[in-house]
Amino acid sequence: MLNVLEKATQINSVSGSENEIRKFISDNVKKYCDELLVDAMGNLIAHKKGSGKKIMFAAHMDEIGIIVTDIDDKGFVRFSSVGGLNLRNLVNLRVRFANGVEGVIGAEEESFKDKPAISKLYVDLGAADKKEAEKTVSIGDTASFVGGFVKCGDNVVSKALDNRVGCAILMQALSEIKDCENDLYFVFTTQEEVGLRGAKTAAFAINPDIAVAVDVTDTGDTPSAPTMAIELGKGTAIKVMDRSIMCDADVRTMMIETAKKNKIPYQLEIMTDGGTDAGAIHLTRAGIKTGGISVPTRYVHSPSEMASVSDIENSVKLLYNIAIAQW
C-alpha cells in the first residue's frame, strides 16, 4: 500500500484538475469492483454489488495548489489559491505545473511582512520576460506544491497526504474485500478542497443508507500545538465532529464497537477548524447517516505532511470491518 501511496502523492491533481489521479486510481481498482464509472463532476465511483445495506465510502482525490491569474511584463506569475493556504508559509516554496515546469514562490518582501496577502506573492519561473513565461504557463493553469515522499522514522512525509492517504485506504480495503453482503460504493471525490463539491453530487446520486468519509485530521502532539486529543501512532481516528458535521451517533457507536471487537487502536476526533466530505454528504437529500475515519496528520496543507504508517494500516482495518459488518 505504501508504494501505491507514494505514487499517488506525487501525481499533481489540484482541485478541478483531477484527471491524472483519477486515471491512476481507476487503473488500480477496476479489477476489484463490479462497476466503475465517472460522473459529471469527475468523481470516480467503484461499485461492489451486494444485497445488504448501501454503504458509501468517500475520499477526495484533489489537493491544494495555486491557479495562474496574471503574468506581468517581467515574466513573474501572479496567482490565486486553490484550497486553504497559509500565506506566511508559502514564501520560497516550489510549485510544479501540469506540464512539469517548476517555479519558486517569492514575495514583495517589505509590504508582505507588514500585511501578508496573496496579491503580494508571485511565482518566479526564471523567465526573462512575459513572452518567455507565456511559452510555458497560461492563465488558468494550476500548480501543486513540490514535496517528495520519504520515510521519517515510523512515519511517512509527503505533499498531498491530504487526501491521497484516504484514497489509498479505500483502494486497499476494496482490494481485500472478497465476499460481502453489503452494497458498497467506494467514491473518490473531486473538489473537496474548494467546497466539498464532488461528494455532494455523488451522495445525491447514490443515496446510501450509511456513509463514511475518510480524510486526514490535525494533531495536538507537537510543541505548542492547539489542544487536541489526537496523536501520531496512537491509532486511527473516529470522527465525533468538525466544523461541517456532528457525526451520526449510531454510526459512531458502530465504528467504536467494530474497532474494539477487532482490537483496532482508535482515537476520538473533534476537529474545531475545517471539515471533510462528510459535511456535504450528511446534508444530501433528506439526510444521510454519516461518520468519518481520519488519519492523524501533522503539518496539514503543507508540502511536508506527516502521518504514521500504523495509523494508516489501522484505518484500513477499520474501514474493511465496517464494510463487511452487519448494520
pLDDT of residue 28: 97
pLDDT of residue 17: 96
Same domain, 169 and 236: yes
Checking if the pLDDT of 110 tops 90, the result is no
pLDDT of residue 245: 97
Same domain, 302 and 288: yes
Report the C-alpha dihedral over residues 68, 74, 75, 79, rounded to 10 degrees: -20
Within a domain: residue 166?
Answer: yes
Peptide bond just before 163 cis, omega within 30 deg: yes
* Positions at the binding site for Zn(2+): 60, 162, 193, 215, 301
- Rounded to the nearest 10 degrees, the angle between the axes of helix 19-29 and helix 161-176 is 20
pLDDT of residue 179: 86
Confidence band of 113 (pLDDT split at 50, 70, 90): confident
Total tally of structural domains belonging to the chain: 2
* Positions at the binding site: 60, 162, 193, 215, 301
pLDDT of residue 107: 96
Same domain, 188 and 252: yes
- Read off the CATH number of the domain in which 41 is found: 3.40.630.10
Within a domain: residue 296?
Answer: yes
β-strand pairing of 44-48 with 54-60: unpaired
Cell numbers 504508517: residue: 309
Closest CA to 118 of 191, 62, 69: 69
Same domain, 98 and 214: no
Same domain, 95 and 203: no
Within a domain: residue 220?
Answer: yes
- For residue 79, give its domain range: 66-145
Confidence band of 229 (pLDDT split at 50, 70, 90): very high
Within a domain: residue 150?
Answer: no
- Read off the CATH number of the domain in which 80 is found: 2.40.30.40
Q: Please state, as a whole number, how many other Cβ atoms lie within 10 Å of the Cβ of residue 8.
A: 24
More confidently predicted of 109 and 219? 219
Mean pLDDT of the chain: 97
Checking if the pLDDT of 303 tops 90, the result is yes
pLDDT of residue 314: 98
Q: Indicate the residue type of 93.
A: L
Same domain, 17 and 140: no
pLDDT of residue 164: 98
Same domain, 169 and 263: yes
pLDDT of residue 155: 98
Within a domain: residue 50?
Answer: yes
Same domain, 177 and 232: yes
Same domain, 6 and 112: no
pLDDT of residue 114: 87
Closest CA to 102 of 159, 145, 140: 145
Same domain, 111 and 12: no
Confidence band of 87 (pLDDT split at 50, 70, 90): very high
pLDDT of residue 109: 87
The domain boundary, picked from 145, 172, 195, lies at 145
Same domain, 251 and 182: yes
Checking if the pLDDT of 267 tops 90, the result is yes
Active-site positions read 192
Same domain, 55 and 87: no
Closest CA to 326 of 99, 115, 55: 55
